[in-house]
Amino acid sequence: MAVPKRLVFDDSEFLDGASSFKKSCPGGSRTSSSKNPGHVAALILARGGSKGIPLKNIKTLAGVPLIGWVLRAAIDCRKFDSVWVSTDHDEIEKVAKSWGAEVHRRSQEVSRDCSTSLETIQEFLEKHPDVTVVCNIQATSPCLHPSHLQEALKKITEDGFDSVFSVVRRHQFRWKEVKEGSDQCTQPENLNPKNRPRRQDWDGELYENGSFYFATRDLIMKEGCLQGGKVAYFEMELQHSVDIDVDIDWPVAEQRVLRYGYFGRGVSMMFCKVSGCLTDGKVFLSVSEEDAVSIHTTDTAGFRMLQKDDVKAVLLISKEDLLMKSLITKLRLMTGCEVMTVGKDPLKDVQSVVEKKKLDWKDVAYMGNDAADASCLKLAGLSAVPADAPPEAAQAAKYTCKNAGGGGAVRDFVEHVLLQKEQAKAQMKQDRIDRNNF
């Protein structure tokens, strides 16, 4: 899938020492023109050798591969000329491509435990000389939103900064560390104990949260740092500042992303395979020679939920599935959905509907359960497979349901679709408020 080009809409590497860093901020020389930023690329570093949580970058978080959350935000940002994942692992490459990213296969020299982010980014820039501004996005920041990236990039493209990084404001008192066995007393570092400020009377302090780092090519390649030249920060709200490092972070991050994560721009149509998704794929044979299948009532209720939220649902039946074709009328009555037959390659038939409705694939949700669905699963803005789907389909999908086909998987995906739609509406409302207050 092609990576969106930049569109116009109406609607911990420092320089040497703190003193050098301070000198470079207000009066530092520009290393790129704000009038013409050139090729702006997003780059997510995703090494396969994670020690804390094996293959953490593609582990499922709230039904979505961890890296998928930031890739969705980067692509929907629509301010990048290209979106890349730098990796040394085949499975990470597959997931990255399924989310619409291009892949840079990093060398072994920058894939070691001791390799730094800076070295990896420099290698990427050496291989891609057209890139003039790069945004290093942390794969483990699942609550990143497109608006964060858009506003931060403006500081380079419009305000003339050379580097911009994300921070979060914290209200925490710091004390000097005392080594074990020392007879020294600890000392406060950012407060007066005799006059402890109340939270509301103190602005707090800014801490890097690692979500992203924008920097120009010249700064990275010539100065050897991600923060330098004319420097600015972008402050993220605390609820969006989420990082995952060890196992204990996972359940907390999952709850946070369900509430504050970016779920996309909302979909208006959902396609769902009947066999293997709405049903469990089993056929019941009777003495009377009347074959039967079972459908979970929670799944049919899910389709009613979509209709109430103005999301049109279309059920897909294979042309070879004679039993299902004989049940089309009953399926329509049970679900209230349109039913259409598709060939061995569902993409051809679904594509014609998408074009006829003048939709973009980003506006479409797709649920499938086998290898033939992989193309549609990759293209759709939201896509899912039941928990018992084969690997070929699961790797192409953006969401994996908790339940198996015919056992509530459709309802699970419907709730995910509606949650995404609700989040998209809330984000649009917030954007309007921000513009009105500007």
Distance (Å, rounded) from C-alpha 59 to C-alpha 13? 28
Residue 107: DSSP 8-state? -
Three-state DSSP state, 110: helix
| Single-letter amino acid, residue 247 | D
Distance (Å, rounded) from C-alpha 317 to C-alpha 335? 14
Phi then psi dihedrals of residue 430, to 5 deg: -65, -40
Structure tokens at 243: 């990082």
* Angle, helix 297-308 to helix 328-335, in steps of 10 degrees: 60
Three-state DSSP state, 16: coil
Task: Map tokens 């004679």 to a residue.
Answer: 322
Task: Map tokens 């209720």 to a residue.
Answer: 301
The C-alpha torsion from 250 through 255 and 256 to 261, rounded to 10°, is: 100
Terminus-to-terminus CA distance in the chain, angstroms? 36
Strand (E) or helix (H) holding 375: helix 374-379
| Whole-Å CA distances, 144 to 242, 364, 426 | 8, 22, 15
67: left (phi > 0), else alpha (psi -120 to 50), else beta?
alpha
Active site residues: 196
Distance (Å, rounded) from C-alpha 18 to C-alpha 11? 41
Strand (E) or helix (H) holding 20: helix 17-27
Widest distance between CA atoms in the chain: 90
- The whole-angstrom distance between residue 413's C-alpha and the CA centroid of its chain comes to 17
Phi then psi dihedrals of residue 332, to 5 deg: -60, -40
